[in-house]
Amino acid sequence: MYKKTTLKNGLRVITIPIKNTKSVTVSILVGTGSKYEKKDISGISHFLEHMFFKGTKKRPNTLKISETLDRIGGEYNAFTSKEITGFWAKVDKKNTDIALDWISDMFLNSKFEEEEIQREKGVIVEELNMYLDTPTAYVSELFEDLLYKDQPAGWRIVGEKENILSFNREKILDYFKNHYSTKNTVVCIAGDVNVKQIQGKINKYFGKVKTSHLPEKVPTKEEQSNPEVLVHYKKTDQTHFCLGVRTYNMFDSRRYALGLMAIILGGNMSSRLFISVRERNGLAYYVHTSVDATTDTGYLVTQAGIKNDSLEKAVELVLSEYKDLRDKKITAKELKKAKDYLRGTMALSLDATDAQASFFAMQEVTEQNILTPEEKLKIIDKVTVSDINKIAKDIFSPEKLNLAVIGPIEEKESDKLKQILKL
């Protein structure tokens, strides 16, 4: 399925040969993100991600960067999360060398010019404004703000406006020097490639990545003894909420059973909450349950957009399903359906080279351990009805409940909402 090697400079390389595919994806993942930031530079990981697309000596500006792959119909992008910053390019396999040259040039030779930094501030402020104007995205940020408060896990990945406007070349270079190293970087290539040939090419392009000492990430503190509510007033035609509980980090073996539980609750159109909230009561167009797990945090959350006058009823319906899952065992039929659903969605999601690259490289950069899809499915197959029940009893308790809301609701309603957060 894959081959992992380590270059002389310590850089980890994952090669995933996939026969009979027409595309090749080259990706670089770096183990840094907003959780590695201090308060005065919150948002700098994301800002730095943008700056890699502003020019190198070989490709001196954004136009030259972007048209390199536009000319060959390639796809490319980058992202920043709490713990990972990533860059990728997907091209016709005959253009593999172009993709390798392009992504390595950006990663190793970006100029980070002051003029470009000043110009990009306006772009990122508008990106922030876009998120603030998009309740479906912003309510998720509010939920994490509620969970983690004023510490890196609770800060916005994009940062706050005053920080964004304060960044300069000195700060950008300092963060780059101290957070980008072979020790936390993984290069991955997936597609119809010759493993031996591609290893030599990767060594040619990435052998110059430097090794440096990395700062420690501050562990996230989690403290909660009562249900908590965060209300953000916004004049909208629909009220959006996230209701969830603290759970397990990515190193906890219970996360597999938790993922199946999320599917049963709200993972698809035949899930309990989709039927209850949307089909039976007509309160929402969208309602879904998901899990999030990082190296030191985890949660299960149900998100929905509902009628403005139906928040309490919708919350009570979600809580009812949480309580039912805790107090009554699911059926073997439900568990089998969730496993089959997960097996099918995994197969579909891994049908493309970019998905394969992400699947393997994400594990390596965060866990330093890779499980193949087959190995993960074997673990999932072993989950029992009793495992689901034990987890439900553990996580569905009032002191772990958190509710974040965006809509035309006054903050004074928070106390009233707290009163209905009962299990």
Active-site residue set: 49
Q: What angle do CA 128, 130, 132 make, to 5 degrees?
A: 70
Q: What angle do CA 175, 180, 181 make, to 5 degrees?
A: 140
Please tell me what DSSP assigns to residue 401.
Answer: E
**Which is nearest to 124 in space by CA: 167, 83, 153?**
167
Q: Which residues pair with 4 in a beta bridge?
A: 14
Count Cβ atoms below 10 Å from residue 253 Cβ, excluding itself. 9
DSSP letters, 7-73, are -TTS-EEEEEE-TT-SEEEEEEEES-SGGG--GGGTTHHHHHHHHTTS-BSSS-SHHHHHHHHHTTT
* Cβ atoms 403, 229 nearer than 8 A: yes
How far apart, in Å, are the Cα atoms of 73 and each of 93, 223, 255, 363?
12, 49, 39, 29
**Which is nearest to 78 in space by CA: 126, 35, 28, 37?**
28
Q: Locate tokens 């980070």: which residue?
A: 112
Amino acid symbol at 326: R
* Cβ atoms 188, 27 nearer than 8 A: yes
* Cβ atoms 124, 45 nearer than 8 A: no
Q: Locate tokens 């300069």: which residue?
A: 168
Q: What is the 3-state secondary structure (H, E, C) of 230-298?
A: EEEECCCCCEEEEEEEECCCCCCCCHHHHHHHHHHHHCCCCCHHHHHHHHHCCCEEEEEEEEEECCCCE
Give the SS3 label for residue 191: strand
Q: Which residues pair with 80 in a beta bridge?
A: 85
The whole-angstrom separation of Cα 140 and Cα 319 is 18
